Amino acid sequence: MKKENRITESPSPYRHIEQMSTEEIVRSINEEDQKVALAVKKVLPAVTALIEAASLLLVAGGRVFYMGAGTSGRLGVLDASECPPTYGVDAGIINGLMAGGDAALRFGIEDAEDSYETGWQDLQQHNIKPGDFVTGIAASGTTPYVVGALRQCRKHNIATGCIVCNPGSPVASHADYPVEVITGPEFITGSTRMKSGTAQKMVLNMISTALMIRLGRVHDNRMVYMQITNEKLTDRGTRMLMETGGIADYEKAKALLLQHGSVQAALTNL
């Protein structure tokens, strides 16, 4: 993809930002953010196709991997890490990998994304195989770490998707289910942690939430498999159990919840 076609690198429509008042800065950023949901709305059919393909594999015992670098990688790791506590699934079901490893979550290791081989090597460390699903996340759509991984996945008959913010990118060309959310130039030129990152987060929310629903980890509109790991969640689970199980006694419901470990397990054993 030619650099001049990278919309994410296009000049910001705002000039002399350093001369803006704080009110002007936040208002302008908010105006740009309002464009993101509309951009995501345009690609809902592509998001749906990705989710349906991934869910078939997940229900059959496969795993989902997110791969990215920088902000994109961090967002994937964040989304994956929230699935076990929220939905009670094993940590290996939804996986987040990023260029540079765990150290890159806190510190910018920007050159880690420049290798076409490292992404595939990282997947091999997790015994990647057909039946798994790999989603590359890259605002530019050009990140070598992601491109190389998806290219190898295709060679090894592993299904792939992607979330990118430029049209016709190398990452999308190697994805079976590409999602191209075109959010336009950033408020700060090239700062894709802003609108592009917001768009990626919105799509990731859709993917993981829909996948967990398809796995049966949601009942009605409740997180009935959430891990009971602190007082807030214990109280939430207790009240959920009281409502769904018709239990009037708070302490009785709490004891049942703690005994069985989740709302769903407690309901099953009523």
Distances (CA, A) of 168 to 164, 182, 215: 10, 11, 32
Provide φ and ψ at 26, rounded to 5°: -70, -35
168: DSSP letter:
T
Nearest Cα residue to 135 out of 81, 208, 36, 199? 208
Nearest Cα residue to 131 out of 76, 204, 56, 68? 56
Secondary structure class of 45 (helix, strand, coil): helix
Q: Verify whether residue 117 is a known catalytic residue.
A: no
Return the number of other C-beta atoms located less than 10 Å from residue 92's C-beta.
Answer: 10
> DSSP H helical segments within the chain, as ranges?
22-42, 44-59, 70-81, 83-87, 103-106, 118-125, 144-155, 170-173, 195-214, 231-245, 250-260, 263-268
Q: Element (H or E) spanning 5, and its range?
A: none
Return the number of other C-beta atoms located less than 10 Å from residue 145's C-beta.
Answer: 28
Catalytic site residue from 4, 18, 31, 82: 82
Catalytic site residue from 9, 18, 24, 113: 113
Q: Verify whether residue 82 is a known catalytic residue.
A: yes
Residues identified as active-site: 82, 113
